[in-house]
Amino acid sequence: MPDLKDILGNEVLKDHFRTALQQNKVSHAYIIEGERGSGKKMIAAAFAKILQCETRQAQREKEGTDLTEACGTCASCIQVEHKNHPDVIWVTHEKPGVISVGEVREQIVGTMDVMPYKGPYKIYIVDEAEKMNPAAQNAILKTIEEPPSYGIILLLTTNRGAFLPTILSRCILLSMKPVPDGAIRDYLVNHLHVPDQTAQFCVGFSMGNMGKAVNAALSEEFLELRQFSVSVLQYIHEAEPSTLAEQVKNLKKWKESVGDFLDILLMWFRDVLVMKLAGGENEIIFKEEYLYIKKQSQKLSFESLNAVFLEIEHTRARLRANVNYDASLEVLLMFIRDKCNDGGNT
């Protein structure tokens, strides 16, 4: 688990925490918003680690100064690292889709009044906090409004819109930002020893999301999905409807990561667009598929390409709304195929 200083990018957020630590103005409630894989848990843990650090505590008592990094070696730091610090509570929930009022009462409201066991703070980290239903949010409200001096709640979320206005107005809102491409590439190449070409693909795919980049670089399952996607895309302009239907069936294997499939599609057609704008082989991400990309760039008009981008996003929205999986993807692939053949070479 990295320390604050080791977390890439997100300077604004890190500076916010550092200033709060330095000036001893740590708030009692934070909302950290960011997409999946953007590093919310990492930054929350790093912040909790500093707050609980015994070295920091000792320095504070002795010299009145506030360190803004954890020492990493005291017993407390090691416990936070291993996720077993008694005063850093990771709130859990049983059902995948909801954090219930019972869970909030049992894990947060009911224990907040108990003094911390060893650290100066009692820190609650609620991941996927958007899953707290209104009853659960109401249950936590009073704790957020009138916390004990040692109490800190970190709500991590992909969507701050899911919170009641009463919760929002009581919390400091912070957002994770995309990490610069160069920083992600350096990390993949120098720390994870990912080959340059793969790293370049992962950087493009991640759109600044570190978790996504690392997963794309290391996961066998993702590699398979990528290869499968390319096999679909190479010949999509001449595929028979029955072939596309067959491919959609095969895609079922990756049902959980269909968003990744759509992202790969977007990247592919971004390459087609780059090629159309007279880009060279070096400017595209799917370098090995250069010839296919080039061919499709001649078949798709700018207008058709734009329609393809829109249709990919529409499909994403449909799948989120639980519209039939096979049907949605078949419609999408057929749509792309037809656009490749509408003769628009402009």
Query: Cα–Cα distance between 220 and 260 in angstroms, integer?
Result: 14
Q: Pick between residue 53 and residue 167 the one whose CB is nearest to Zn ion.
A: 53
The single-letter DSSP state of residue 132 is B
* Least distance CB 24 / Zn ion (angstroms): 18
Q: Does 71 interact with Zn ion (rule: CB under 5 A)?
A: yes
Residue closer to Zn ion, measured from CB, 70 or 213: 70
Q: Which is nearer to Zn ion, 117 or 220 (CB)?
A: 117
Q: Which of 328, 299, 163 is nearest to 234 (CA)?
A: 299
- Can you tell me which residue has the tokens 């990295």? 2
What is the per-residue binding string for Zn ion in 229-268, x denoting contact by CB under 5 A?
----------------------------------------
- Quote the distance between the C-alpha of residue 103 and its chain's center: 24
Closest approach of Cβ 117 to Zn ion, in Å? 16
Given a contact cutoff of 8 angstroms between Cβ atoms, the answer to whether 180 and 7 are in contact is: no
Q: Which two tokens mark 141? A: 């409200």
Give the H or E element holding residue 154. strand 151-157
Nearer to Zn ion, 76 or 229 (CB): 76
Q: What is the largest CA-CA distance in the chain?
A: 77
| Identified binder of Zn ion from the candidate list 51, 77, 144, 265, rule CB under 5 A | 77
Judge whether 172 and 30 are in contact, CB under 8 Å: yes
Shortest separation between residue 127's beta carbon and Zn ion, angstroms: 23
Give min distance, CB of 281 to Zn ion, in A: 50
Q: What is the smallest separation between the CB atom of 52 and Zn ion, expressed in angstroms?
A: 8
Compute the distance between CA of residue 292 and CA of residue 147 in angstroms, rounded to an integer. Answer: 60
Cα 57–62–68 angle (5° rounding)? 45
The least distance separating Zn ion from the CB of residue 71, rounded to whole angstroms, comes to 4
Contacting range for Zn ion; rule: CB under 5 A; set: 28-36, 61-69, 70-78, 253-261 = 70-78
| Cβ closest to Zn ion, residue 53 vs residue 262 | 53
Say whether residue 200 binds Zn ion (CB under 5 A).
no
Radius of gyration of the chain, Cα coordinates, nearest whole angstrom:
24
For Zn ion, which is the closer residue by CB, 39 or 119?
Answer: 119
Shorter beta-carbon distance to Zn ion: residue 71 or 307: 71
Under rule CB under 5 A, which residues in 314-343 are in contact with Zn ion? none
List the x/- string, 30-69, binding to Zn ion by CB under 5 A. -----------------------x-x--------------
Which neighbouring-strand residues pair with 175? 33
CB of 152 to Zn ion, least distance (A): 17
Q: Which of 71, 91, 1, 73 is nearest to 43 (CA)?
A: 1
Look at residue 57 and give its three-state secondary structure. Answer: helix
For Zn ion, the closer CB: 55 or 59 = 55
Give the bridge partners for 154, in sequence order.
30, 125
Residue 129 binds Zn ion, judged by CB under 5 A? no
* DSSP secondary structure letters along 306-322: HHHHHHHHHHHHHHHTT
Considering the complex, what minimum distance in angstroms separates the CB of residue 59 from Zn ion?
10
Q: Reduced to 3 states, what is the DSSP secondary structure of residue 79?
A: helix
User: Residue from 74, 171, 293, 300 that binds Zn ion (CB under 5 A)?
Assistant: 74
Nearer to Zn ion, 74 or 336 (CB): 74
Number of chain positions touching Zn ion (CB under 5 A): 6
Q: Specify whether the CB–CB gap between 87 and 119 falls below 8 A.
A: yes
CB 42 within 8 Å of CB 1 = yes
CB 5, min distance to Zn ion, A: 14
Contact residues for Zn ion, defined by CB under 5 A:
53, 55, 70-71, 74, 77
